[in-house]
Amino acid sequence: MRLLLAAVAALALAVSVKGKPADMNDAAIVSAEYPASLSAYGFFTGGADRPSPALLPYALRTPLFTDYAEKQRFLYMPAGAKFSVDGDGRLQFPVGSALIKSFGYHDASGKLNIIETRLLLHRAEGWVALPYVWNADGSDAVLKVGGARKPVDFTKPDGTKMSISYSVPNKNQCKQCHSTKDSVMPVGPVWQNLSFTNAKAQLAFEARGAAPAKLAALEAKWDDSKSGALEARALAYLRVNCGHCHKPTGSASNSGLFYDDHERNAAALGIGKRPVAAGRGSGNFDFVIEPGHPERSILIYRMKSTDPGIAMPELGRATAHDEGVALLEAWIKSLPVS
């Protein structure tokens, strides 16, 4: 028995030295089962504020808006595995990888209280999306396949205090936003949009893969006027917040509106384009984007609305993103009127 224990200890040490802490559970990532608790994977050690050293932290220059929630993003890959980057800058991850994203809000003391952690797990059959909701004491998170609602109080950047019913998406809603050709795929990790809080994190990330030199330049940040022209920042915002559904292979392809990486055609962006359906969501306006007139543009009308039958994006928000709306209003005002 002593020899067996010594062998197990030696194996655990060897695994740790190779870059994967002994408490990481690779089997849970690739298994056909859905673990009931987040702790089963080993991504966190006792709380959302204690990520495993095996996780690679990263951020996005232009992130998806989710009711002003603060997000923490991590990548996990099996020991020795590396990612690659395709010609469009999308990161390709090996089977056994996981993308981990936590959502939370700061309390009055400044502490970040995590509500949920969403996982994208790369299994042999493809990617699987699972939402986990943290217990009140922050000790662990529980799988909520059917989603959940949580009351949340927070303060917006302009000082306005808000109280909302925060929505944790169900498993099918995760699939809706992450759908590409009816398959679940990551949408956030694009090389040009990656950002890092420090050089150490960036070096650790780049050590696990490499991007083609032509993709080295980072794109404009929507909220930084010095990072690019107004149109570039507006399109970056639309690409991140709308492009995962509004693309030829996405769930909103029938709209004829495409905000993905490739589209620059005016009509496909909605400029001077009439909607394919003139229902309640049109607000009785004629064009998705009417140049020079954001107040008459369907895009702005739907972005400002919180009505479930009108609001765009449809999922992930109970509030309007005032700063994002202001950016797109400024862009629409700048468009030449024919």
Number of Cβ within a 10 Å radius of residue 301: 20
Q: Which of 290, 314, 292, 293 is nearest to 303 (CA)?
A: 314
- In angstroms, the CA 328 to CA 232 distance is 11
What single DSSP character describes residue 199? H
Token representation of residue 44:
């966190």
Check if the beta carbon of residue 104 is closer than 8 Å to that of residue 114. yes
Cα dist from 148 to 102, 117, 157, 176, 179, whole Å: 15, 12, 26, 17, 21
DSSP string spanning 6-42? HHHHHHHHHHHHTT--TT--HHHHHSSS--SBGGGTT
Q: Which of 112, 109, 116 is nearest to 166 (CA)?
A: 116
- What global pTM score does this model have? 0.86
The pLDDT of residue 333: 98
Token representation of residue 54:
């095996």
Q: Which of 213, 214, 215, 168 is nearest to 189 (CA)?
A: 215
CA 39 to chain centre: 22
**What residues are paired with 93 via a beta bridge?**
none
The pLDDT of residue 57: 93
Check if the beta carbon of residue 42 is closer than 8 Å to that of residue 52. yes
In three-state secondary structure terms, 224 is coil
- In angstroms, the CA 337 to CA 314 distance is 30
Listed as ranges, residues in the chain with pLDDT below 70 are 1-22, 173-182, 213, 215-219, 262-263, 278
Check if the beta carbon of residue 40 is closer than 8 Å to that of residue 31. no
For the chain, give every domain's residue range: 23-218, 221-338
The pLDDT of residue 204: 87
Burial (CB count within 10 angstroms: exposed 0-12, middle 13-18, buried 19+), residue 18: exposed
The pLDDT of residue 218: 63
In three-state secondary structure terms, 171 is helix
In three-state secondary structure terms, 326 is helix
